[in-house]
Structures are given as C-alpha cells and as structure tokens.
Amino acid sequence: MPLCKNANRIFPNSPKDRNMKFSSWFLAIRPNTLPAAVAPVFIGSAMAFGNGLFHGPSALMALSAALSIQIGTNLSNDYFDFKKGADTALRLGPRRVTQSGLIRPRTVLLASLFFFVLAALSSLYLVHRAGMCILIIAAASILSGILYTAGPRPLGYLGLGDLFVLIFFGPVAVGGTYFVQSLEVDWAVIVSGLAPGFLSTAILAVNNLRDIETDREARKLTLAVRFGRSFAMKEYLFCIIAASLIPFAVVLITNDHQGVAVASLTGFLAIPCIHEVMTHAQAVSLNRVLVLTGRYLLVYSVLFSIGWLLCSH
C-alpha cells in the first residue's frame, strides 16, 4: 500500500502525468484562437501565388512568426490577466492554466517569452529578404502582443484591443505576408486583409461579451465594458457583415477576380452564431460561438484563396 500511495513520486513522468502536462499546455495555447494567425498568412500567400510571386521560405517564416506571436500573446494574457485579477474562479470561459494552477505562473511567463523570441528569430529571415519595413512591422506586432495585457497601461485594459486586432490580424498580416514574398505593395491585398481582421475582431468581441462582468470588476475596460452588452453584440454583427462585403470591394478594385465573392457565403454560415449573440449571449453559447467564428475565419480564408487562384491568369 505505501508503494501505491507514493507511486506518483516514484514515477513522476508516468504516461498519465505526461498526458496531463500535454493537455494543460494544449489548453494554454488556446488552439481555437490560432485561425486568427493562420488565415491571413494563407490569404496573403495565395494572392502571391496567384500573381506568380509566391516564395515558399518566406511564406513558411511568416506562418511561423504569426503563430509564435499568437501563442506568445495567449500565454502572456494567461499570466498577466491572472496577476491583474481579471481571471478568477468566477471566469465563464475555458480554463486558464495560471488561474487554475495547472501550470506555475513563472513557467507560463517564460513560455510566452520563448514564443516571442521564436517570432523574432522567424522574422530575421523576412527582414533580410524584405528590408527594414518588415523589421518595424515585426517589432510592432511582437510589442503589441506583449503589451496587450502587460505593463502599467495594457492595450486590452484600455479598450484598444479591438483596433489592434483589426489592424495586425488584418491588413498588416495579409499585406506583410504578400510583401515578403513579392517585394511589392498591392492595395487589393491590403483591402483583402480587412476581412480576416474583422473576423478576428468578431472573435474578440464575443470573448469580451462573455467576460464583461469579470472584466468590469477587474477594471479591464474593454469596449464591451465601456459601452455595454448591446454594443458588443452589434460589434459582432458589424464585423461579420463587413467581412462578407470585403470580397466585393476587392472585385471593384481589381476589376477582376470575381471568384473571391464566394467567400461572402461565410456570412450566411455565421447566421446561427449571430442569432446566438443577439438573443441569448450566455456563457455556454458564447463559448461555442467563439469556436465557430474561428472556424468561419478558416473557411473564409480557404474560399477567398480558391476564388483568387481560379481567377488568376
């Protein structure tokens, strides 16, 4: 019997322990948010390919940098939201590993720094290829990820998160991905980037709507806290509609590539989520909406990319 009681100490790296560690880290990186990093790189690369300017190593490094920044930001948020009191036992969303004690706070912080360093290393190749403008974009993207919840005046606590998500997960990510491959600026690409930016902002709007009460208590002044639940609901609706209209703007700009309009069908797929947000807005349903909106973002990026490629000459 004593041997059984001490089994965990004798075999600390048992398969069960390893599985628990893996599941905790899998939870920490928040895989449901990763489409926000993948989708703009996918669109930018597809547009470069369609224009005959695709460059594989640059696309790969852009994806590595985007994913590293997203994961680093998620881990940083996990740590600093706990430290600032925004994450408590009353949290309605998926478990946060720092608050729930699954992973030690210092370990989460070090892991976030690791991914930000990985993002910086991935960006070095892109800077070498495309010049100092990419250095500025990379530095701004990494700093925005860190300062979203870190520092005395975090961006997310000032209500600036929505604007920064729209910009950095939209035109900056799509345009930057295209530029490091083509070494050209294309305004159709920049406008195209607004759609994943809007859909990523929709994900954030759902997140902030769900957490409005705990954020208010922690003085995390998101737009939902500042302007209320009705505003957050309308913000979600606006972002979905705006993203659905972007393909038509791209067709007008290029006077070509009509195939990208198929991506607008994603708006119809989102109608059940819009209904949930506008009528119920309960924690369980909003968690489901958050996951589904991330999937819609991936579907949108695939449909837009296929439409662009089919109409490329």
DSSP annotation string for 243-285:
HHHHHHHHHHHHT--GGGGGGGGHHHHTHHHHHHHHHT--HHH
Contact 273, 293 (CB under 8 A): yes
Give the number of other CB atoms < 10 A from CB of residue 244: 21
Pairwise pLDDT comparison (177 vs 287), residue with the higher score: 177
Distance from C-alpha of 42 to C-alpha of 48, rounded to nearest angstrom: 10
User: Which segment of 147-161, 175-189, 231-245, 261-275 scores lowest on mean pLDDT?
Assistant: 147-161
Distance from C-alpha of 143 to C-alpha of 122, rounded to nearest angstrom: 15
Average pLDDT over residues 281-289: 81
pLDDT at 58 over 80: yes
* Residue 130 identity: A
DSSP annotation of 32 reads G
3 state SS of 147: helix
Provide the pLDDT confidence category of residue 92 given band limits of 50, 70 and 90.
low
**CATH 1.10.600 is right for the domain spanning 34-310:** yes
pLDDT at 3 over 50: no
Residue with tokens 């892991």: 111
pLDDT at 79 over 60: yes
pLDDT at 6 over 70: no
Distance from C-alpha of 40 to C-alpha of 114, rounded to nearest angstrom: 23
Confidence (pLDDT) at 274: 94
Best mean pLDDT range from 74-78, 89-93, 114-118: 114-118
Mean pLDDT of all residues in the chain? Answer: 88
Residues near 24 by Cβ (< 8 Å), separated by ≥ 6?
97, 102, 103
- Model pLDDT for residues 95-146, shown as the tens digit of each residue: 677 877 788 989 999 999 999 999 999 999 999 999 999 999 999 999 999 9
Distance from C-alpha of 150 to C-alpha of 76, rounded to nearest angstrom: 8
Confidence (pLDDT) at 196: 97
- Model pLDDT for residues 207-261, shown as the tens digit of each residue: 999 889 888 888 889 999 999 999 999 999 999 999 999 999 999 999 989 999 9
- Give percent of the chain above pLDDT 70: 89
Provide the pLDDT confidence category of residue 15 given band limits of 50, 70 and 90.
low
Distance from C-alpha of 193 to C-alpha of 174, rounded to nearest angstrom: 5
Distance from C-alpha of 40 to C-alpha of 15, rounded to nearest angstrom: 37
pLDDT at 13 over 70: no
